A and B are shown apart, each in its own frame.
Chain A
Amino acid sequence: MRLTVNSRQHDLDVEDEMPLLWVLRDVLGIHGPKYGCGIGQCGACTVHLDGVAVRSCQIAAADAVGAAITTIEGLGTPEAPHPVQTAWIVEQVAQCGYCQSGQIMQAASLLAEVPNPTDAEIDDAMSGNLCRCATYPRIRAAIRRASQSEDS
């Protein structure tokens, strides 16, 4: 099957039902998306499918064929971070950092859809992303900061 990840095409021989998360991590060596639960409960594996945040542990590889898959590596880089990543850096959100690829992908998807989310919209959009280190106050602050930077 052919998958398009971060604008690059990959021809792969994997099981149709292999979750996209594991294709990314173990077949393509793209390690930004993380395994936290495997059952759609934590959001650590969040990537974009055609710009929309999804849990890659819940998407069968075959169902991602034809879609533009974006991982955190495709969102921005240390040298050229995406505005959401810049906000995350300025607010120093991360503690252990394990959930943060997923948090950032979820937030980027929210802001693409709702450029100026209310507090309730932020909490609602981020509700499926677990942070065991409880960095939530800074996640909110970073989303607000990113939303303002896109305004200006």
Chain B
Amino acid sequence: MGAGKIARRGFLVGAAALGGGIAFGTYLYRRTPENPLRATLPSGSTVLTPYVMISAEGITLITPRADVGQGAASIQAHLLAEELDVDPAKVQLDPGPASPVYYNGKVAAEGMPLAAWDSRWLAQTGRSASDVAGKLIGLHLTGGSTTVPDTYERLRAAGASARETLKAAAAGEMGVAVDQLRTEDGQVIGPDGSTRAYSDLIEALRDTPVVQDVPLRAPEQWVRLGRKHQRTDIVPKSTGTFRYGVDLTLPNMIHATVVTNPVRGGGLRRMDTRAAEAMRGVEAVVAITDGAAVLADNDWRAMEAARAIEVEWDGGGPDTDALWQTHADAMTDDNRDSRFADDGNVETAPGAPVTAEYRVPFLHHAPLEPANATVLYQPERTEVWTATQAPRFVAQAVARITGQDAEVVTVHALPAGGSFGHRLEDEWVRQAAEIAVQRPGRPIRLTWSREQDMTHGFLRPMALARGHGTVQDKRVRSLDLSIAAQSVAESQLGRAGMPSFGPDVAIVAAAWDAPYAIPDRRVTGYRVRAMVPVSSWRSVGASHNGFFHECFLDELIHAAGADPVEERLRLLHDDPSRKVLETVADMANWAGPAGARGVAFVYSFGVPVAQICEVRDTDGGIVIDKLWIAAEVGRVLDPVNIEAQLSGGALFGLGHAISSEITLTDGSTDQTNFHDYESLRIWQTPKVEVRVLESGGPIRGAGEPGLPPAAPALANAIFAATGTRLREMPFAKTLRFA
């Protein structure tokens, strides 16, 4: 895996320029970053593109966006393959090294107050600035549902450039004109039917200049994209042969686990490791930041020994109960973080008033694969194997610990057994590095126990919202929403040693920019001063604001005596948004006779999504029978996987809304494993029906936007079934679920 393999043998073909259409910007921005594969290639080889490698053994496609289960590797391979004319199932995939070449030009826009439905000049300029910023700082990062939008053109362009260069090389060898050649399944085919495998063209490529600016094939010509195809990881993941970080085995490897203070930086009063050190297979117990690491000959012995360590921690922190007051107190002018939406005058709006308060708790990402990393430290070079969404940050963090240059820290990015934002963090990698410098020359594979993982989360912020609005003449007249939460950007960038500036859009995301033409409408974000480390959790701010906004709007619509779908349709000023709401109402036959239903609409990550949920109130509790989902993504590249992503996001949202919460006592997490941090189980899962619309507008990713409408659709359905308004998550605190 990783750059090591590329370094030994290889030849890279394709476009020197990444993507196209870079028309403005600074000198630094215009300069293409150095191809990271060039530095490590054997002499005599030529490197032309960061995405396609051809060697005598075959073809390797570089897929730099992290695969955390969402299918990123497969879709990147298909984008390249569509133009390169190779079968993604027959080539090698490699995430490539950490490098600024693989910068993400789209993700910074998520931090800007730009409404996705806004196509005016100012918003477009802002989005272009995101690309400049991403490239300037070499933001090699996966997140914000940007993998497809960010790589859609770039990878097809790389594939096309590589294909045309291969044809040019073959033309020279075969003595025919390039336009007489075609390509198929990794081969160039001549006019007489003779073939040259791509991997047989290495010599000819040496003297062939790279063909640039190749026009891309029109979607009507596609043979893979947009059609049902198999994800590249499906067979190994169905046969137990897919390898994760926890499975990595290296010669002479030490298995490690850690015991650290549940309050980071809290300090240590007393620790007795004698019993642990005497246990079978234990090599040593060593000190690391905030605690200790056990080094042993297998994971279980390490974890058993860690349990045998007697420890009293120092330090402490807040209780969740007290934090609700802190959030309520934060709703003052002093703490006002943003007011991006302020139409009309909510203070003087006429009509009958409605008010409500909503709460969502802290949540943990808790992917099923526990946090893990393997680090091999040597004085001249360090290697890291870990699943990460931000490999350059990992290299820099490890370099700070080893005292080396980040250039000599090689990160082999592994696929993750889930993330939901967790693999943007890297605490476990730093811990493995701290151990590794104490054992030069020996690979350290650190695996967190589930208990360590559950009690050391980087949390989705808890958040508090207050809604005030008025209704008049069977219509919603005004809506004023105030939201108080910690800033994820401040907390997360702070951990990476970087400052954050200005308001945090996440605090109000998917609320301020909800495309409703309510005459008097205001959304205000209040920043709760950082106390608890918080993080980007699937759909980030939209994960709570979808609930706040859509439940409060539903309360207003009911108070007005209007129909929840009709009134939303009347208020939506964005055509694609109205279309998805109409579609979902059609799918569910909203107008017809039905059980208890709730609807919600949320526009997040550039994707308008509408959902309708149907529930039954039974003697055993609430049963969720059905969930309908409609979304608009511009264009669908993998119809099978996009359905799984939208459905998976929505069900993830439902499960957490029903049963999950992280609570803190004196700063420590109370939950320790999946028995007290439950999420959706199969018997709670409704039937799900998904319809994805393709207007041909900007292409979007679907990993996150399926989540935000699910909880409010459920809460609104439960209101229809029971008359109870659920204003606090987890819902199981208020009502019984079957």
Contacts and interface: CB of A to CB of B under 8 A. Distances in A.
B112 to A, nearest CB: 30
B688 interface: yes
B300 A22 contact: yes
Given A41-B673, A132-B679, A136-B651, A94 B234 contact: yes
Contact of B450 (A39, A97, A101, A138): A39
B651 A85 contact: no
B685 A96 contact: no
Given A25-B299, A92-B230, A127 B368 contact: no
Contacts of A123: 682-683
A18 to B, nearest CB: 6
A140 interface: yes
Nearest to B71: A95
Contacts of B419: 96
A95 B688 CA distance: 16
A78 B235 contact: yes
A41 B674 contact: yes
Contacts of B243: 31
Contact of B644 (A22, A76, A122, A135): A135
B119 interface: no
B240 A32 contact: yes
A51 interface: no
Given A26-B255, A139-B682, A132 B420 contact: yes
A143 B455 CA distance: 35
A69 to B, nearest CB: 14
B269 interface: no
B246 A97 contact: no
Most chain B beta carbons < 10 A, residue from A35, A93, A126 = A35
A27 B68 CA distance: 27
Nearest to B652: A134
B416 A96 contact: yes
A123 B238 CA distance: 20
B249 A132 contact: no
Contacts of B417: 34, 96-98
B246 A35 contact: yes
Given A22-B299, A95-B644, A98-B417, A132 B239 contact: no
A131 B647 CA distance: 13
A132 B249 CA distance: 25
A130 B230 contact: no
A34 B425 CA distance: 22
Nearest to B451: A38
B280 interface: yes
B236 interface: yes
A85 B651 CA distance: 24
B674 A19 contact: no
Interface string A7-50: 00000000100110110011101011111111101101000000
A151 interface: no
B687 A133 contact: no
B450 A130 contact: no
A126 B240 contact: no
Nearest to B651: A134
Nearest to B243: A31
A109 interface: no
B410 interface: no
Most chain-A Cβ atoms within 10 A of its Cβ — which of B652, B655, B673, B682? B682
Interface in A84-135: 85, 88-89, 92-101, 104, 122-124, 126-127, 129-135
B366 interface: yes
B270 to A, nearest CB: 27
Contacts of B680: 134, 136
B8 interface: no
B264 interface: no
B353 interface: no
B153 interface: no
Interface string B636-678: 0000110011011001100100000000000000000111000
Contact of B238 (A36, A85, A122): A85
Given A89-B234, A94-B233, A96-B417, A35 B370 contact: yes
A96 B644 contact: no
B239 A34 contact: no
A152 interface: no
Interface residues of A, number: 60
B223 to A, nearest CB: 19
B69 interface: yes
A31 B300 CA distance: 14
A32 B239 CA distance: 8
Contacts of A135: 644, 648
Contact of B68 (A35, A85, A96): A96
Contacts of A32: 239-241
A25 B247 CA distance: 8
Nearest to B231: A92
B242 A76 contact: no
A75 B449 CA distance: 28
Interface centre among B241, B648, B651 (most CB of A within 10 A): B648
A72 B683 contact: no
Given A31-B247, A138-B644, A97 B449 contact: no
B200 interface: no
Nearest to A74: B240
A71 B679 CA distance: 26
Interface in B206-228: none
A133 B237 contact: no
A37 B450 CA distance: 5
A26 B680 CA distance: 30
B239 A81 contact: yes
B299 A134 contact: no
B686 to A, nearest CB: 9
Contacts of A33: 240
A132 B418 contact: yes
B675 A39 contact: yes
B298 interface: yes
A42 to B, nearest CB: 6
A147 B187 CA distance: 41
A42 B648 contact: no
A125 to B, nearest CB: 9
B681 interface: yes
Contacts of B230: 89, 92
Given A95-B71, A96-B368, A98-B418, A130 B674 contact: yes
Given A41-B674, A95-B71, A132-B368, A127 B683 contact: yes
A93 B687 contact: no
A86 to B, nearest CB: 8
Interface string B505-529: 0000000000000000000000000
A95 B648 contact: yes
A16 B673 CA distance: 25
A95 B236 CA distance: 12
A104 B238 contact: yes
Nearest to A18: B300
17 contacts: A32-B239, A34-B368, A35-B370, A77-B239, A92-B641, A93-B238, A95-B71, A95-B648, A96-B369, A97-B237, A98-B69, A98-B418, A130-B368, A131-B368, A132-B366, A134-B651, A138-B644
Interface of A: 15, 18-19, 21-22, 25-27, 29, 31-39, 41-42, 44, 71-73, 75-78, 81, 85, 88-89, 92-101, 104, 122-124, 126-127, 129-140
Given A15-B280, A18-B300, 7 more contacts: A34-B417, A36-B369, A94-B69, A98-B417, A127-B683, A135-B644, A136-B682
Interface of B: 68-71, 230-231, 233-244, 246-247, 249, 255, 280, 298-300, 303, 366-370, 415-420, 447, 449-450, 640-641, 644-645, 647-648, 651-652, 655, 673-675, 679-683, 685, 687-688
Q: Shortest 7 CB-CB distances between A and B: which pairs?
A: A96-B69, A32-B240, A98-B417, A97-B237, A72-B240, A134-B651, A26-B298
